Structures are given as C-alpha cells and as structure tokens.
Structure 1
C-alpha cells in the first residue's frame, strides 16, 4: 500500500515538473517584443528623425531590466537544489 502511494506521488511530481518546464519553454519561445522608455528619454529621442538611437535606448533599458530577474532566478534555483537535493540522498 505504501509503495502504491509513493508511485502516485512520484507521478504527480513528474507531471507538475513537466507542466512547469512546458510553461517556461513556451514563455521563452513565444515572448512579445516590448518597448520600455522613461518620459525624459522619450522626449529627448523623439526629435531624432531616424529612430535608430531610440531603438538602441529601448534595447538597453530592456537589457538592464532583465539582468536582475535572471540573477534572482539562478540564485533561487541553486537554493532550491541545495535545499531539496539533500532530502533525496538521505
């Protein structure tokens, strides 16, 4: 009886991990392009004709915004692995 409950729990864990992985892959491959710009940068760059400089500023802002999220995600992943990885070995 205990073995059957363990199998069911193991299957549920695998299903939840696969759903999380599917969501993660879906969000990476089907992301939308976003435009980010503060009001002062926008006002300064609207006067330019070509718009190349404005696109570069937009890309830089998005890049600077994404780095902290990536770092927090990586640190969180390693903390999760350290915390729950030890339980499997015991």
Structure 2
C-alpha cells in the first residue's frame, strides 16, 4: 500500500510543478499587481476552508462527547 502511495505521489508531482510555474509567471510580472493579490487571496481562502470545516467537526464531536 505504501509503495502505491509513493508511486502516485511521484507521478503526480509533475502536474503540480507545472501549475506552480504558471502561477509564478503571473505573479512575477510587475504589471498586474491586482492579479497577484487575487491569486494570494484565493490561496488563503482555499487554505482556510478545510481548517474551518475540521474545527466545526471537532466542535460537534466534542459537544456530543461531553453531553
């Protein structure tokens, strides 16, 4: 099982590096500061949502366990 996970992560890394190169090209240009701020805000929103969902889940589990 671990072997399959390692192979999958190794093969999928090429796709993620391609995405990062495209984002870097947009963010490195000095012309579109609004686009760079939009990409940064999108990253923050995508990062925050899973933490909020897990926090709400743990809250309901804690509430259920204590009552």
* TM-score bin (small chain): 0.5 to 0.7
Equivalent residues, number: 48
Query: How does the TM-score come out when normalised to structure 1?
Result: 0.47
Encode CA deviations 1:43-88: one digit per residue, 9 max, x unaligned: 3332251310010000001100100000000000000000011xxx
Q: CA RMSD in A?
A: 1.7
Q: Which has the higher helix share?
A: 2
Structure 2, gaps ≥5 residues long: 1-18
Structure 1, gaps ≥5 residues long: 1-37, 86-90
Q: Which runs of 4+ in 1 moved over 4 A?
A: none
Tell me: higher relative CO, structure 1 or 2? Use CA pairs within 8 A at least 6 residues apart.
1
Query: How does the TM-score come out when normalised to structure 2?
Result: 0.62
